[in-house]
Each structure stands twice: as structure tokens, then as C-alpha cells.
Structure 1
Amino acid sequence: MPAHRVAQIVGAFGIKGQVKLDVLTDFPDNIRKGARMRLDDRWLEIEDCFWQGNRCIVKFIEMTDRNQAESLQWSYLEMMEEDIELDEDEYLVEDLKGMAVIDSESKEKVGDVDDVLKYPAQDLLVVNGHLVPMVKQFIQRVDLKRREIHIRVIPGLLGDSDNGE
């Protein structure tokens, strides 16, 4: 299973080895007491954590003083995919890229997911240069095992064949 980058250490906090994290994941609830995070080739376990503004303050069991914390500034932390808890309708961006996009009405493949763009209102799938909102009105089903996303295609969503697109 692959690892996913979830945070960056941006500095030390206090004198007992706590670190300040910039959280890079859409699933910050996974950064919690008892969670394991990978730093380069070693694993760290969260002893305690709390939020201060938009930053997460974390105390790892393995870190005991400020000098250790300062030495890790700008390092990235990863979590294994199987350790990231997702709700039924939540997906990792990396899992969606490359998936086949299927018209749920005609059952025909209309393209592949080239990228996923993050926007405040919703994420957008990039399919053959067109943007498909990740909302229930368009996304009918995501099949991770078959690597397919079934969408409801409306006129103009993926370009119109009758106007040269």
C-alpha cells in the first residue's frame, strides 16, 4: 500500500519535543492520538495533538526535546493508505487519477481522469480537458476496484460533438 503525504513540520512548539504541522490532507481527523506517521525511513506515534488556528500541534512519543523538534523543520510526514480513514463518499486524489470515466446512461467510456483540482466549493475532475464537478448531481458511482467513475453527462459538460469540440 502506498504512503500519502499528510503534513509538513514547520517548526518546534514548546520545550518537550512538540512540532507545529501544516496539514496537507483533506482528512485532518486522521492526525490524532495513537496515529502512526512516517518520517523518512522511521515511524513516529502521536502521543497527543491539538489545533492552534490552522496548524496542528503534535507531540510524538519518540521526540522528547525542542532540539529534536527543531532538527525536523520542513520535513514531510506520511501515513499509509490503510491508516487513512475515509467516509463512504470520500476518496484520495491519487486513487481517482487515471480512472476511466463512464457515461452512466450509455455505459460508454467518455475519457479518463487526468487530474483532480481542489476548489473551495468542490473538487473538479479534469476529463479530456473538461471540468466535471465532484458533486452528486454528476457523480453517480465511483468503483475503486474496477477503477471507474460513472457520471451523468448533460449537454455541454464534456463539449458538444455537434459544435466541433
Structure 2
Amino acid sequence: MEFFRVARIVNTFGIRGQMKILIDTDFIEDRFKIGNQLYILHDNQMVRKVIVESLQQHKGAYLIQFKDLYDINQVEQFKGMSLAISAEDQHELEEDAYYHHQIIGLDVLTLDGKRLGTIKEILVLGSNDVWVVQPINSKRKDILLPFIGDVVKKVDLEKGQVWVELMEGLIDEG
């Protein structure tokens, strides 16, 4: 079965089995609805199926409770692991919208064909995501590309490429 991460378990909370998570999905209400099934993964391998019992925001993160896990001793082992959905649970996206796993690993090219590097991470920040590009030249700093129309001009998933127009100041020329 193929899985896609929707959150990271960063800590336990209290003694009654709640866990503190950081969410990596735009579909919070759908993914974490009471009664939904998720999977706890370690190194992309399923450790356990869980059923959402509750979710609440707490100081910039979320607290989640799963059915039948009501003690800190039961959940302590899951710190640092991921929460995921199965491939069948993915939503169909509208045009020009992408799942993170589709974007990570794509080559980034400028409109004139210069290869900048590979997308290694996506930061979810406020109004738009920021794509972190590992530059070809390992001595250079990561390139941060805002996912906005002025910068990202074309995404070609079949070719594994993203075409961008760089705004002034996006690349450290030093």
C-alpha cells in the first residue's frame, strides 16, 4: 500500500494518550474528521492503523487523540513518526494544484533553460507555499521559491520539471 504523509507527531501531550502534531495538509477538516482512519508510519512503513477520536488546535500545533490509545505509555513510542493516508484517500485536486509528494524531487529550470537544482522540501507559510531548492552548486545556499504565478511559470510532472522566472533577490549570487 502507498502512503502519503499528512502530519508529523512531534510529542506526547499530558498522560491520557494525546499527541502533539504538526499538520502537512490543506485538508485538515477532511483528513482529521472524527472516525477517519489514518496510519502511523516509521520510515514509510506502517506501524499501526488508528482512528481519529478528537483534534484541537493548541499553540501553533494540534492535539490529536486516537481511539483505544488513552495512556501516555501507549503513545510515547510514536514520537517522531508520521501520520499518513493511503493513496485511495487522496482528493482529486483542481488544475494547477499539486500534492507535495508530486513536487519534491522535480528539477527547477529558468525560462532560458538554466538548471538551478532540485526541489527538496516545501514550507507551508501563510498565504503561499515556499519551495526549497537544493542548488546544483553545493556551495550555494538553498533557493527559496514562493509558489506564486510571478515565479512558478510551468510545472510538468511528466518531465519532472518546474520552469521559473526569478525575481530580483531570490538567488544569492555570492
| Shorter-chain TM-score range | 0.5 to 0.7
- 1:57-136 equivalences under 5 Å are 57-63=63-69, 65=70, 67=71, 69-73=72-76, 75=78, 76-80=81-85, 82=87, 83=89, 85=91, 88-92=96-100, 94-104=101-111, 106=112, 108=113, 110-116=115-121, 118=123, 120=125, 123-126=130-133, 127-128=135-136, 129=140, 131-134=143-146, 135-136=148-149
Once the two structures are aligned, what percentage of the paired residues are identical? 10
Structure 1 position 19, deviation (Å): 1.0
CA distance in 1 between counterparts of 2:153 and 2:25 reads 22
Normalised by the length of structure 2, the TM-score is 0.63
Look up the equivalent residue of 2:75 and give its one-letter code: L
CA distance in 2 between counterparts of 1:74 and 1:12 reads 13
CA distance in 2 between counterparts of 1:102 and 1:89 reads 19
Secondary structure in 2 aligned to 1:136? coil
Look up the equivalent residue of 1:141 and give its one-letter code: K
CA distance in 2 between counterparts of 1:95 and 1:37 reads 20
Structure 1 position 9, deviation (Å): 5.6
Look up the equivalent residue of 1:96 and give its one-letter code: I
Taking only aligned residues, the RMSD between alpha carbons, in angstroms, comes to: 3.6
Look up the equivalent residue of 1:113 and give its one-letter code: T
CA distance in 2 between counterparts of 1:72 and 1:155 reads 47
Aligned residue for 1:49? 55
Compared CA separation, residues 77 and 99, structure 1 to 2 (3 A): closer
CA contact (8 A) 2:19 2:65 kept: no
Compared CA separation, residues 157 and 10, structure 1 to 2 (3 A): closer
Aligned residue for 2:155? 142
Structure 1 position 154, deviation (Å): 5.7
CA distance in 1 between counterparts of 2:27 and 2:19 reads 14
CA contact (8 A) 1:12 1:70 kept: no
Compared CA separation, residues 99 and 28, structure 1 to 2 (3 A): same
| Unpaired segments ≥5 residues, structure 1 | none
Compared CA separation, residues 32 and 142, structure 1 to 2 (3 A): farther
Normalised by the length of structure 1, the TM-score is 0.65
Aligned residue for 2:5? 4
Report which of the two structures shows the higher radius of gyration computed on alpha carbons. Answer: 1
Equivalent pairs counted in the alignment come to 153
